[in-house]
Every structure is written in structure tokens, then in C-alpha cells.
Copies of this chain bind each other. A is one copy, B any other.
Amino acid sequence: MGSGAVGSYYGARLARSGCDVVFLLRSDWEVVMRRGFSIEEQTEESFQIYPVRGYRRTEEMGTCDLVIIALKATSREALRQLLPPLLGPETAVVALQNGLGNEEWLARGFPNRAILGGIVFACLTRTGPGKVKNTGFGKIELGSHRGSDTALLQDVAALFERAEVPCAVVASLEAARWRKLAWNIPFNGISVAAGGCDVGEILRDSELRRLTVGLMEEIAAVAARHELPLPEGWIERMMADTARMGPYRPSSLLDFLAGRAIEVEAIWGEPLRRAQRAGVLTPRLQTIYALLRALDRRANTPQGITPS
């Protein structure tokens, strides 16, 4: 579900490896049906997928063995209608999304069902309808929301591995989510709040770099308080990995520049609320959350500068 960078990339990889992939393509249906998917790789061969089994509405798709949700966390309301037609009695769901609360929301709305979460460590950019550029990494971490589903996790991981996507099954999905948040919270947030910086510019600016590390330390403290500590040296490793990404623009920045809503609550709001409930002070996170929430609201306020 979803033909943004994540859905197109992993869907195309799975299709190429022989999976029977059915795509929900809302805005891009016409172009993708005519031209297929075009995946540009950096370190391996680029490839096309054509023809594509694409649909505009989930009602036309039939039930699936596995539903991969690659819509933004901001699309939850739409999901409520989109998801049910795809669900047979045994259908499992993978939330390939950023932020916190996605699996909880799915588990509440669709109980007694295997809900997995996937965390993407990749630099994927949608460069046009059906076109995705992968400029680094590509790994997925996969975990189960309810903490069981061991066989299913192995099966899904095997599908990704067969599609040449490195995929690790993690014991704690929540711990993996915090590890990824330690990247998304600073880089996605600063890229938007600082007026459109790519990650290279953030790292080159001494004050933005200091802010990045400060935010990561706050996330590390919250994760540790939840007994899900970040691995030793994680912050240094993320900074080093990011330095190899060049002028990469996080997805929130691309969304913001394109006038789309950003995942304010999933990436910043929910982690902040968990920090507050756990009694951990996160002043930088509160600052960036407050600013992004206002920026997002104002960007989606038609009259422009001031609604007052």
C-alpha cells in the first residue's frame, strides 16, 4: 500500500524476486501502469518492473497473505477504509513506517491479527511517479508488535532476503523504533525547521550538529528509561553513517516542500509524550515538536501567514 519511495522500492524488489505483489497506487496509477517502476540503485544494477499489478482502490485488489503498509503515519484515517478489503482471516500486516504508535493503532483497529513493524534504514527518494533512487543502505529491521509471531517473522524476513534486501528480525520492535527515532527526530526535524537543510548541511553547521547530538542524547535517555537502551556507540555510528549520505533530504523535508503533511505526531509528538510520562526531560524535543507542529499547521492553513 502506497507508492511513495518506500512502497515503490520494496514492492518493486519483492516483485522482481518473484513475489506476487499487488500495488495500491492512488495518485500514480496512470503513470505506473503505463511505464512501470524504475528503481535506480547506487551500488548495484538499476532495474525496471513492468507490467505492474496496480490498483487505485483496495476494493479491486482482493485479500492478500501479507499487507505492507507504506503510507505515512498521517494517513491513518484513510487506512481505516483502505485496509479492510485486503484482509482475509490469516492476513498479516507490516507497518513499514516511521515513528511510534503505528502498530498500536493497527492492533486496536484490527485486533487478533499478526501486526509486524518494519524499520527502514535506507536513503530512498521518489524522483517522480514510479521512480525511486536508492542512495545508500537499504536494510530493514522487522519485529512483531505482540512479541510472538516467530515463524511469520522468519517467513517475511526470508521474502525480503530473497529480494536482496538485508532484513534482520529484532527481538524488540520498540527498541528498534527508538533506534530509528534517534535518527529521524533530529535529521527529519532539523531539515524542516532550519528551512530546508539536507543532512550534509546539518552536519557541516556546528550549531545544528550540536543540536543533532543533543536530540539523540535525549532520545537515548528516554529509551534507556524504558529499558530499551540504544546500543553502545549508536550515536557516533549514526553520525558517521549520515556523513556518508551526502546531500540527502529526509522524507519529512520532501513532504514539507511538496506541501504534504509531515508525521509530526508519530515522529515527535508520541516520543515526547512517552518521555513526559516516564519523567524524562527532553527540552530540545519539546522545542522541535512545538515548532514543527506549528509549521505543519501553518503550511496546511490556506490563508497563508496569519489565521488570527
A interface residues with partner B (beta carbon < 8 Å) = 190, 193-198, 200-201, 204-205, 207-208, 210-211, 214, 247, 257, 283-284, 286-291, 293-295, 298-299, 305-308
Contact = CB atoms under 8 A, between A and B. Distances in A.
Contacts of A211: 286-287, 290-291
Contacts of A295: 194-195
Given A190-B291, A291-B194, A308 B208 contact: no
A294 B198 contact: no
Contact of A288 (B214, B287, B299): B287
Contact of A294 (B208, B291, B305, B308): B208
A198 B286 contact: no
22 contacts: A190-B291, A193-B193, A193-B291, A194-B291, A194-B298, A195-B298, A195-B299, A198-B306, A198-B308, A201-B306, A201-B307, A207-B286, A207-B289, A207-B293, A207-B294, A208-B291, A210-B286, A211-B286, A211-B291, A283-B284, A284-B287, A287-B287
B283 A214 contact: yes
> Interface majority SS on A: helix, strand, loop or mixed?
helix
A186 to B, nearest CB: 10
Contacts of A308: 198, 200-201, 204, 247
Nearest to A249: B306
Contacts of A298: 194-197
A239 to B, nearest CB: 16
Contacts of A291: 190, 193-194, 208, 211, 291
A138 to B, nearest CB: 23
Q: Top 9 closest A-B pairs, CB basis?
A: A207-B290, A194-B294, A283-B283, A287-B287, A211-B290, A195-B295, A247-B308, A195-B298, A196-B305
A229 to B, nearest CB: 21
A289 B214 CA distance: 14
Give the most central of A198, A200, A211, A293: most B CB within 10 Å: A211
Nearest to A295: B195
A219 to B, nearest CB: 13
A78 to B, nearest CB: 25
Nearest to A196: B305
A196 B306 contact: yes
Nearest to A200: B308
A145 to B, nearest CB: 28
Contacts of A190: 290-291
A219 B178 CA distance: 31
B294 A214 contact: no
A127 to B, nearest CB: 16
Nearest to A211: B290
Nearest to A212: B290
Given A200-B308, A208-B291, A247-B306, 19 more contacts: A194-B290, A194-B298, A195-B294, A195-B295, A195-B298, A197-B298, A197-B306, A198-B308, A201-B306, A205-B293, A205-B294, A207-B286, A207-B289, A207-B294, A208-B290, A211-B286, A214-B287, A257-B305, A283-B283
